[in-house]
Structure 1
Amino acid sequence: MAIITIKFFDVVPVRFNLWIMLFTSCWVVYMLRVNMSLNLIAMVPQTNTNASSRSQCGAKDDGVTNETLHHVDITDVREAPRQVPGGGSFDWSAEQQALILGAYFWCYPITSLVGGMAAERWGPRYVVLISTLASAVFTFLSPVAARMNHVALIVTRFFLGFAGGFIYPSLHVLVARWAPPAEKGKFVSAMMGGTLGTVATWSLTGPLMEKFGWASAFYVPAVLTVVWCFFWWYLVADTPADHPRITDSERKYILEALGDKVKKIKGLPPLKSIVTSFPFLAMVVLHYGNLWGLYFIMTVGPKFVSSVLGFELSAAGVISALPYLARMFLATIFGAIGDCILAKKMMTTTTIRKFFCIFSHIIPGVLLVLLVYAGCSTALSVALITMSMGFNGAATLTNLQNHQDLAPNYAGTLYGIANFVGSTAGFFTPMITAYFTRSGNSFEHWRPVFFVGASVYVVSAIFFILFGTGNIQSWNFGREDTTEEKEDREKNGDLKEMNGTTAKKVETKDVKETSLNVG
C-alpha cells in the first residue's frame, strides 16, 4: 500500500506534492502543540462545580433554549465530571497546569528567530525533518514524564516548543525557493494547515481518550508524525535543482520564474541592512497588527461572548471552529485571487500588498468594533467573530507574503524576526483585557478593549500602506553580491532590464570595429 501511495506522488507535479507537505506540516505542528490543552482535562481530576458569573444578557424571553451554544444564565452550574479511562491520575494545581501549557512558548520565539537562518544555511528540508522528528519524540515521552512529576512534563513541553519554533520560518524558506511569483499566494495559503490541525485534534482527541485512555492522545499523534516525516523526507527537496524526480519542464519553469532573485547564500544574513530597512519595518508592523488581531479574537472574543453575552462558545464544537475554518477557507480564496491578479498584471506587487490590507486588517478591525455594539444578539456576535477572522485570511497576500517580496533569499530570517516581535501580542492582549474589565464585564467595560484591538489592526495597515513596498531590496543578495559578481551576471544577460546597454557587452570585437568604421 505504501509503495502504491509513493508511486502516486511521483506522477503528480512536484509543486502539488510540496503544497500538500507544507499544509500537513503546519497541521502536524499544531497537532502536537494544542493537544495538551485537552489532554490535561483527562489527566487531572475535574471538580463537580463549574462556577460562572452572571452575564449581562439575561435569559431569552421567548423561552427557547439554545442547546447548541450552551446558554449559561445561572451563577452556579453543577454537573458530574466526565470520566475518562485512565484519567484523573494527577493532582496538579491550576498554577502547575498553567506552567505545563505555557512551557511550550518559553523558547518558541527564540528558535523562531533563528529558525530561518538555520534553514537558509543548512537547508529547510533537513531543519523541518529534524525538528518534527524531535517533536514526535518529546510527545511520545510525555506520558512517561507526566508519571514522574509535573516538572518533567514541563521540561518536555519546553523542548517541544524549542523544536517547534524552527519549523514555520523554515517553511517560508522553502516557499521562497520553490514558489513561482504567479503561484506564491497559493503556497503561502498552505500555511493555514495549522487551523485545520487544531480543529481536527480537538475533535478527535476526546473520543480517542475515552476509548483508550489519555496516554493514547500522546502516542497516536507521535506515531502519525513519524509516518509523516517519512513522506517529507521522500517528497521534499531544498530546491528544484536538488529534487531527484522532478521533470525537466517543471524544473525549468520554476527556475526561470524565480530568475536570479533566489540563490544559496553563505554566511550570516546582512542583519544591519535588514533591521535598518524601512520597508522591512513596515512589514514587521503589519505582521504585528495581524498577530495582535489573531490573538485578540482567539482569546478575547470567546471570553466576551461567554462573560457578557452568557454563551460558552467553547461548548459548541462546530461553532467554536467556525472562525478558524473561515480563515483557512478565505485564505485559500484570497491567495488564488492574488495569483490571478498578478499573472494578468492587473496590479503591481506593491499595489496588491497594500490593497488587500483593507481585507486582512481594516475590515476585521471594523468588525471588532461592531461586535461590542451587537448587544445580546448571539447569532450576530458569532457571525461578526467569524467574519473578522475570515477576512483576516487575506493576510496571505499582505504580511504573510511581503517578506518573500523584500528578500526571498532571507525570507526565513525576515519571517522569524517579524514573528518574534509579533509573538509579544500574546502577552499584551490578556493584560489589556484584564485592565479594562477589572471592575466588571458590562458592555461599557469591554468597549475600550475592542477599540484598542481594532486600533492596532487599522493603524498597522495604514502604516504599511504609507511606507510598505513589494519591491525586492538590494540587500537580498547579501554580502556576496560584489562588483565582480554583478559584472559576471551582466555578461550573462541577467541584468538586461536594469541596464539597457548590457547586451552590447556580449558583442564580438569584430562587430564593434565594424560599427566604428561605419560611423
Structure 2
Amino acid sequence: MAIVAIKFFDIVPVRFNLWVMLFTSCWVVYMLRVNMSLNIIAMVPQTKNNSSLRSQCEPRDELSNETLYHVDIADVREAPRLVPGGGSFEWSADQQALILGAYFWCYPVTSLVGGMAAERWGPRYVVLLSSIASAILTMLSPLAARISYVGLVVVRFFLGFAGGFIYPSLHVLVARWAPPAEKGKFVSAMMGGTLGTVVTWSLTGPLMEKFGWASAFYVPAALTIIWCIFWWYLVADTPTDHPRITDAERKYILEALGDKVKKSKGLPPFKNIITSFPFLAMVVLHYGNLWGLYFIMTVGPKFVSSVLGFELSAAGVISALPYLARLFLATIFGAIGDCILAKRFMTTTTIRKFFCLFSHIIPGILLVLLVYAGCSTILSVTLITLSMGFNGAATLTNLQNHQDLAPNYAGTLYGVANFVGSTAGFFTPMITAYFTRNGNTFEQWRPVFFVGASVYVVSAIFFILFGTGNIQPWNFGKEDNEIKEDKEKNNALKEMNEPQERKGDAKEIKETSLNVAS
C-alpha cells in the first residue's frame, strides 16, 4: 500500500507533494502534542463533587448530556469514578498542570535553534529525526505514567524538545520552495496541525473507551513512524536537490524566487534581527496568536467536559470543532490573500494589518462573549468555534510576516517568535489551574477568558501600529548588500548617461543628414 501511494506521488507536481507533506507534518506533530489534553481526563479518575453531583450546566437542549457528573480535578476526596477505559492516577490539579505544561518547557528553546539548524543542515533531516524521536517518546509515555507522574513530565519535556525543531524547519522549506504568488497556499499548509487536533480529539475518546487509555499513545506513535517513510522519500531541501522534479517546475520556482532566498550556511544577523522594530511587532502578534491557540488546545477539553457537561467521547469531538473551523477558514483566507496580492488590490503591509481584524480582534471579542453565554451549550460551542475559526486568518498575518521580512532567515525568525510565543503553552494551564482551583463554574473561568481576549486584541493593535510587510535590508548578507548597492549605482550611472548618449546620437544623425543633403 505504501509503495503504491509513493508511486502515485511521483506522477504529480513536486510542489503539490511538498504541500501535502507540510500539511501532514503539522498534523503529526499536533497529534503527538495535543493527545495528552484529552488522555489525562481518562487517566485521572473523575470525582463526584460535594457541592454538585452534575455539571454546572443542567441539560437544556439536544447537545446536553444527562449522564455526565460534574468534574472537579481539584477535589480528590471522594471515591473515584472511572471513565470507561480510564486509569486510576490520583494526580492533583497542580500535577496535571505540570504534565500538560511540561511539553512547552523546552519547546521554546528548540524552536529558537530549530530554524538555524534547518538553514545550516537542511530541513528535511531535521524534521525527520525530530519526528522519529517524538514517536519513540510517545510510545514510552504509558510506561512513564505507571512509574510516576514525574516520569510522564520528563517524557513530555523531551517530546517538546523534539517538537520544537519542526515548525521553524517547515518555514525554511516554504521559503525555499514557495513562489511568491503561492506563498499563502503553502503557509495555509501549516494548518495541518488543526486537522491533527480535530482527528486526535475526535477519535481518542472512542479509542480509549474501547481499548484503554494507553492505546491513545501507541496508535499516534505508529502512524508517525509510517509518515516518516513518506517524508524521507518525497521531500528535498531545495528544488535543485530534488531527484524527481521536472526541469520546467524547477526553473519556474527558481525564477520566481529570484535572489531573495539562498541556501544560507552562515549565522543569521542577530543584532539586526533583535533591534528590528518590525520584527518585534511580528513577535508580539505571534505571541497573541499562540496564547489563544494554546489556551483552547491545553484547557479546552476540560472546559467542555467540566463546565458544559459532555462525556469524554463527546468532549473530544466538541473540543475539535474549533480547529476544524480554523482549518477551513485558513484555506479560504490563504486563497483570498494570494488573490488580493496578485491583483494588487492591497500592498503586502496593508494585507498583514487588515487581516489582524479577523485573526486576532474578532476572536478576542468572541472569547469575551463566550463567558456570558451561560449554560446555552449550542451558543457556547458556536462562539468558541467561531473564535478559533476566524483565527485561521493568521495565515495572512503572523504566520506569513516573517517570510516578508527576511525569507533568507525565515526559519530563524519564526524560531525566535515561537521561542517567545510558546511560553504561552505553560502559562495558560497554570493560569487556568489558579482561577479554577476551587471549582469549575463560569465565574471561575471568566478571568481566564478575559486574559486570553486581552492578549489577542492588544497584540493586534501593536502590530497594526508598528508592523510592516516590507523586506528588511538585513535579509541580504554584507556581500549581497554590496553587490546590490553596486547594481543600483551602475543603474543610476546608466540612467544619467542615457540622455547624453541620446543627445550624441541625435547630433550624429543630424550631421549625417546634412552631409547627405550636401
For 1:117 and 1:486, the matched residues in 2 are separated by: 25
What residue is the counterpart of 1:6 in the other structure? 6
Contact 1:372–1:446 (CA<8 Å) still a contact in 2?
A: yes
Q: For the structure 1 residues 475 and 186, does the alpha-carbon distance in structure 2 shift closer, same or farther, using more than 3 Å as the test?
A: same
Higher mean Cα deviation, 164-173 or 147-156? Answer: 147-156
For 1:378, the equivalent position in structure 2 comes to 377
Q: Out of 290-299 and 362-371, give the one that drifted further.
A: 290-299
1:232-262 residue CA offsets vs partner (Å, 9 max, x unmatched): 1111111111111111111111111111110
Structure 1 residue 148, shift from structure 2 partner = 5.2
8 Å contact kept, 2:366–2:387? yes
- The answer on whether the counterparts of 1:282 and 1:463 sit within 8 Å (CA) in structure 2 is yes
> What is the aligned partner in structure 2 of residue 81 from structure 1?
82
**Which residue number corresponds to residue 476 of structure 2?**
477
Answer whether contact 1:270 1:479 (CA < 8 A) is retained.
no
Change (3 A) 1:445 1:64: closer
**Equivalent pair of 2:274/2:280 in contact (CA under 8 Å):** yes
- The separation in 1 between residues aligned to 2:47 and 2:442, in whole angstroms, is 30
Question: How far off is 1:109 after superposition?
Answer: 1.0
Q: Distance in 2 between matches of 1:16 and 1:289?
A: 31
The aligned amino acid for 2:11 is V
Instruction: Give 1:420 deviation, angstroms.
Output: 1.3
Report the counterpart of residue 463 of structure 1 in structure 2. Answer: 462
Q: Provide the residue aligned with 2:18 in structure 1.
A: 18
Q: Tell me the residue number matched to 1:410.
A: 409
Corresponding letter in the other structure for 1:179? A
Partner of 1:250: 249
Bigger CA drift: 292-301 or 434-443? 434-443
SS at match of 2:476: helix
CA deviations on 1:291-335 (whole Å, 9 max, x unpaired) are 22223444666666667x653486444322211111111111101
Cα separation, 2, equivalents of 1:91 and 1:451: 31
Q: Provide the rounded CA distance (Å) in 2 between the counterparts of 1:466 and 1:72.
A: 48
CA separation in 2, counterparts of 1:481 and 1:273? 15
SS in 1 for 2:370: helix
Q: Which residue of structure 1 aligns with residue 400 of structure 2?
A: 401
CA-CA distance at 1:465 after TM superposition? 1.3
1:100-146 Cα offsets, whole Å, 9 max, x none, are 44332221111011101111111111111111112222223444545
Q: Which moved more, 1:224-233 or 1:153-162?
A: 153-162
Give the drift of 1:429.
4.1
Residues 327 and 391, structure 1, Cα contact 8 Å, conserved in 2? yes
Whole-angstrom distance in 2 between the partners of 1:116 and 1:68: 46
2:45 and 2:89 in contact (8 A); partners too:
no
Q: CA deviation at 1:423?
A: 1.9
Q: Structure 2 vs 1, CA of residues 12 and 239 (structure 1 numbering), >3 Å: closer, same or farther?
A: same
Instruction: Determine if contact 1:133/1:225 at 8 Å carries over to the other structure.
Output: yes
Alignment of 1:84-123 (within 5 A): 84=85, 88=87, 98-123=97-122
Residue 209 of structure 1, CA deviation:
4.6
The answer to whether the 8 A contact 2:289-2:456 is kept is yes
Query: Structure 2: which amino acid aligns with 1:81?
Result: L
Rounded Cα–Cα distance in structure 2 between residues aligned with 1:15 and 1:445: 48
What is the CA deviation profile of residues 332-378 of structure 1, one whole-angstrom value per residue up to 9, with x for unaligned ones?
A: 11011111111121111111111111111111122223223334433
Structure 1 equivalent of residue 347 of structure 2 = 348
- Counterpart mapping for 1:433-448 below 5 A: none
Q: Any idea what the Cα deviations from partners look like across 1:152-176, whole Å, max 9, x if unmatched?
A: 4443332222111100111111111
Contact preservation (8 Å) 2:359, 2:391: yes
Q: Any idea what SS the aligned residue of 1:347 has?
A: coil
Distance, in Å, in 1 between the alignment partners of 2:4 and 2:299 is 47
CA change 1:164–1:59 in 2 (3 A) is closer
* Distance in 2, Cα, partners of 1:349 & 1:191: 20
Q: 1:51 to 1:480 in 2, by over 3 A?
A: farther
- Work out whether 1:233 is the aligned partner of 2:253: no
Paired residues for 1:190-269 under 5 Å: 190-209=189-208, 212-269=211-268
Q: Judging changes above 3 Å, is the alpha-carbon distance between structure 1 residues 148 and 518 closer, same or farther for their aligned structure 2 residues?
A: farther
Alpha carbons 2:359, 2:394 under 8 Å: kept: yes
8 Å CA contact retained: 1:57, 1:310: yes
TM-fit CA distance, 1:428: 4.0
Conserved in 1, the CA contact under 8 Å of 2:301 and 2:316? no
Change (3 A) 1:330 1:273: same
Q: CA shift at 1:33, angstroms?
A: 2.1
Preserved CA contact (<8 Å) 1:104 1:157: yes
Q: Which aligned pairs between 1:143-154 and structure 2 lie closer than 5 A?
A: 143-146=142-145, 150-154=149-153
Distance 1:447 1:33, change over 3 A: closer
Structure 1 portions without partners, runs of 5+: none
1:405 and 1:129 mapped to 2: Cα distance? 27
Matches within 5 A, 1:115-194: 115-146=114-145, 150-194=149-193
Show CA shifts across 1:449-488 (max 9, x none): 54443332222212211211101000011344252x3367
| Distance in 2 separating the partners of 1:452 and 1:146 | 32
3-state DSSP of counterpart to 1:12: coil
Cα deviations by residue, 1:160-216 (Å, 9 ceiling, x for unpaired): 221111001111111111111111111111111112212222333444455555544
Query: Which residues of structure 2 form unaligned runs of 5+?
Result: 510-518
Asked whether the equivalents of residues 72 and 310 of structure 1 are also in contact (C-alpha less than 8 Å), the reply is: no
- Cα deviation code 1:81-112 (max 9, x no counterpart): 3453xx74867666655544433222111101
Q: Aligned partners of 2:284, 2:91: CA distance in 1, in Å?
A: 39
Query: Does the alignment pair 1:331 with 2:330?
Result: yes
Distance in structure 1 (CA, Å) of the matches to 2:340 and 2:158: 43
Task: Say yes or no: does 1:311 pair with 2:309.
Answer: yes
Cα deviations across residues 419-440 of structure 1 (Å, max 9, x unaligned)?
Answer: 1111223344455556667788
Equivalents in 2 of 1:382, 1:20: separation in Å? 30
* Change over 3 Å in CA distance of 1:371–1:55 after alignment to 2: farther
- Cα 1:181–1:49 shift into 2, 3 Å: same
Report deviation, 1:35.
2.9
Report the counterpart of residue 486 of structure 1 in structure 2.
484
Of all paired residues, the percent bearing the same amino acid is 78
Q: Deviations over 1:363-408 (max 9, x none)?
A: 1122223223334433222211111111011000001100000001
Alignment partner of 1:293: what SS? helix
Q: For the residues of structure 2 that align with 1:189 and 1:445, how far apart are their CA atoms?
A: 35
CA distance in 2, matches of 1:269, 1:78: 57
Give, in whole Å, the separation in 1 of the partners of 2:426 and 2:215. Answer: 32
For structure 1, which segment, 296-305 or 456-465, has the greater mean C-alpha deviation from structure 2 after superposition?
296-305
Q: Distance in 2 between matches of 1:207 and 1:59?
A: 24
Q: 1:249 to 1:475 in 2, by over 3 A?
A: same
**Alpha-carbon separation, structure 1, partners of 2:227 and 2:205:** 22
The residue type equivalent to 1:311 in the other structure is G
Shift of 1:286: 0.9
Instruction: Give the CA deviation at 1:441.
Output: 7.1
